[in-house]
């Protein structure tokens, strides 16, 4: 009789690696030499700070993502259900079950001390939440953003800058989560299996410091092979930006020469400027070349020539064959297309469509922004919040999380028409407290609590799930 085999033991070790290409602690995934290491950081910064199209795109992205409201949310399990993976909000959390939970009510949030504590921490940092989010959004330019978590004991007001707290409960809260700038990167500490262990930072005063991942937050636009450097949102814009920049330089030089003419200098007869053995000829040739290059049409224009030398300005050949304006506009459009932001071209030219296309284009753009916001949210929920609660000895089961409002603004007119059509078709639309609240919030109108559970009918007051103190001037980026 054959012996029955039991189940195979679980595998707790890794055999393979992520396949990330590294050398000396530096990532070697990029095939364009100009976009490797610190050279890439300089290029991306030049693109963001010097190019009008890239600057407009990044400004629009940053302003739209900064105005999003963050709040503390809870989920609660349904009784009698088996825990299975579930979705919360608009994107799945990797560390919690789904399908058996429902969003907690405002009353549940107010009764949960963990949610109250987390909400107070958002409003008790030395830097505002809006400032923190601004630093996080640098990941869009460079592909990644590294933040060190610094804690403090909440012992009330103290004389030490940044260590004071609005609370004196003795709990451990966030002091700040400052960025460790991308251009200060010295190398990465990556384990043999490809896991990120730490960032090695170059100090301004000399030397390096190792910042471990277990006391940091790493935000990335894209996770591929667990690459700590992610992928810049401007990566696909590099090629059109490069050619556009070169064409603009050529265009500027061509315009100047068309207006000023092409300078030509003739040496006196008998002077051989090309005789490298004649020191005088070599010197005079260098002076002549410098004079030709320095001829400009400006407020200081003028020429002082030696006796016997002749200078003339050759006329331009006329209008160039190529329309550089059309070429530059084409590259601008390609730059905007790489991040689905080509709607910024609408209305500037008939070639780029009309504003009738703006709804579909902005909808795709908002979807991309919501995806980035979800990635930021997931890092906070999977790393920052569990660590904070664990330091204070709080239960991590179904712990409170941070969530954000959607960036895309709903079409109120379309919603109204849809509800009207439903009502005319015979569907009982109202009264429906949940639907009423959702519609009013979409229209940014006051929400009342006059529902079937009984309410005063007064406008709803903000609860702890907003994570905001309206009296604090440093929280302007959390609430509108």
Q: Which of 113-122, 162-171, 315-324 has the lowest mean pLDDT?
A: 315-324
**Better pLDDT: 138 or 338:** 138
Q: How far is CA 427 from CA 414, 416, 419, 432, in A?
A: 18, 14, 9, 12
Higher pLDDT pick, 137 / 93: 137
Distance CA 182, CA 279 (A): 51
What's the rounded mean pLDDT across residues 347-355? 51
Find all residues with CB under 8 Å of 419, minimum gap 6, and list them.
429, 439
Work out the percent of the chain whose per-residue pLDDT is above 90.
Answer: 33
The predicted pLDDT at position 281 comes to 82
Lowest mean pLDDT among 88-97, 228-237, 290-299, 431-440: 88-97
Orientation of helix 324-337 relative to helix 238-260, angle to 10°:
160
Query: Rounded to whole angstroms, how far apart are CA atoms 220 and 464?
Result: 29
Residue 327's pLDDT is: 87
220 or 88, higher pLDDT: 220
pLDDT at 381: 95
Partnered with residue 218 across adjacent β-strands are 146
- Output 451 or 255, whichever has higher pLDDT: 255
Report residue 36 as tokens: 């490797």
What confidence tens digit (pLDDT) does each residue in 171-222 have?
A: 999 999 999 999 999 999 999 888 899 999 999 888 999 999 999 999 999 8
Q: Confidence class of residue 289 from pLDDT cuts 50, 70 and 90?
A: confident
Could you tell me which residues come within 8 angstroms of residue 396 by beta carbon, excluding any fewer than 6 positions away? Answer: 386, 389, 390
Q: Is the pLDDT of residue 101 over 50?
A: no
What share of the chain has pLDDT > 70, as a percent? 73
What's the predicted TM-score (pTM) here? 0.72
For the chain, the average pLDDT equals 78
- Quick one: pLDDT at residue 31? 92
CB atoms within 10 A of CB 376: 23
pLDDT digits (tens, 9 = 90+) for 41-73: 999 999 999 999 999 999 988 888 888 889 898
Which residues, in sequence order, are CB contacts of 279 under 8 Å at separation 6+? Answer: none
**Selected residue with higher pLDDT from 418 and 190:** 190
Residue located via tokens 């459009």:
333
Q: Which of 107-111, 235-239, 282-286, 308-312 has the highest mean pLDDT?
A: 235-239
Per domain, the residue ranges of the chain are: 22-234+369-391, 262-314
pLDDT score, position 359: 62
Please report the pLDDT score of residue 199 as a whole number.
Answer: 96
Query: Is the separation of the CB atoms in 442 and 435 below 8 Å?
Result: no
Nearest Cα residue to 230 out of 267, 269, 182? 182
* pLDDT for residue 462: 42
Lowest mean pLDDT among 48-62, 79-93, 280-294, 390-404: 79-93
pLDDT band at 261; cut points 50, 70, 90: low
For the ranges 150-159, 387-396, 433-442, the maximum mean pLDDT occurs at 387-396
Q: Who wins on pLDDT, 249 or 79?
A: 249
> In this predicted structure, what is the pLDDT of residue 347?
55
pLDDT given for residue 1 in this prediction = 54
> Which pLDDT value is given to residue 409?
64
Q: Name the band, by pLDDT with cuts 50, 70 and 90, for residue 455.
A: very low
Question: So what's the pLDDT on residue 343?
Answer: 66
Whole-number pLDDT of residue 454: 41
């Amino acid at each position: 009789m054959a012996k029955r085999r039991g189940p195979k033991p679980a595998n707790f070790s890794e055999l393979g690696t992520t396949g990330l290409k590294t050398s000396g602690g530096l990532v070697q995934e990029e095939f364009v030499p100009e976009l490797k290491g610190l050279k890439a950081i300089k290029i991306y910064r030049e693109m963001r700070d010097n190019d009008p199209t890239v600057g407009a795109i990044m400004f629009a992205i940053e302003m739209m993502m900064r105005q999003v409201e963050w709040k503390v949310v809870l989920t609660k399990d349904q009784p009698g259900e088996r825990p299975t993976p579930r979705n919360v909000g608009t994107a799945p959390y990797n560390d919690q079950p789904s399908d058996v939970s429902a969003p907690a009510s405002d009353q549940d949030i107010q009764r949960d001390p963990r949610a109250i504590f987390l909400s107070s921490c958002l409003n008790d940092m030395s830097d505002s939440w809006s400032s923190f989010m601004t630093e996080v959004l640098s990941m869009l330019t460079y592909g990644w953003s590294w933040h060190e978590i610094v804690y403090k004991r909440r012992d009330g007001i103290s004389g030490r800058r940044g260590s004071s707290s609005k609370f004196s409960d003795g709990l451990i809260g966030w002091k700040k989560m400052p960025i460790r700038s991308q251009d200060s990167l010295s190398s990465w500490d990556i384990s043999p299996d490809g896991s990120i262990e730490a960032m090695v930072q170059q100090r301004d005063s000399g030397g390096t410091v190792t910042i471990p991942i277990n006391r940091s937050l790493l935000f990335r636009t894209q996770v591929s092979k667990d690459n700590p450097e992610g992928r810049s949102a401007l990566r696909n814009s590099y090629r059109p930006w490069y050619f556009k920049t070169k064409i603009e330089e050529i265009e500027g030089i061509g315009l100047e020469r068309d207006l000023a003419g092409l300078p030509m200098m003739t040496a006196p007869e008998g002077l051989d400027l090309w005789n490298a053995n004649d020191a005088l000829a070599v010197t005079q040739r260098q002076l002549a070349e410098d004079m030709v290059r320095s001829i400009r049409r400006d407020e200081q224009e003028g020429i002082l020539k030696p006796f016997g030398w002749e200078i003339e300005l050759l006329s331009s050949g006329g209008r160039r064959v190529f329309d550089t304006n059309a070429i530059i506009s084409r590259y601008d459009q390609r730059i905007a297309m790489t991040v689905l932001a080509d709607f910024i071209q609408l209305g500037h030219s008939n070639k780029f469509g009309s504003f009738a296309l703006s709804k579909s284009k902005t909808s795709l753009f908002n979807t991309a922004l919501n995806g980035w916001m979800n990635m930021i949210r997931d890092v906070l929920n999977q790393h920052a919040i569990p660590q904070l609660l664990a330091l204070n000895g709080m239960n991590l089961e179904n712990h409170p999380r941070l969530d954000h409002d959607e960036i895309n603004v709903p079409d109120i007119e379309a919603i109204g028409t849809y509800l009207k059509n439903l009502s005319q078709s015979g569907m009982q639309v109202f009264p429906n407290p949940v639907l009423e609240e959702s519609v009013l919030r979409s229209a940014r109108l006051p929400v009342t609590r006059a529902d079937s559970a009984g309410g005063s009918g007064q406008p709803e007051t903000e609860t702890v799930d907003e994570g905001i103190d309206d009296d604090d001037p440093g929280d302007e980026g959390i609430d509108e």
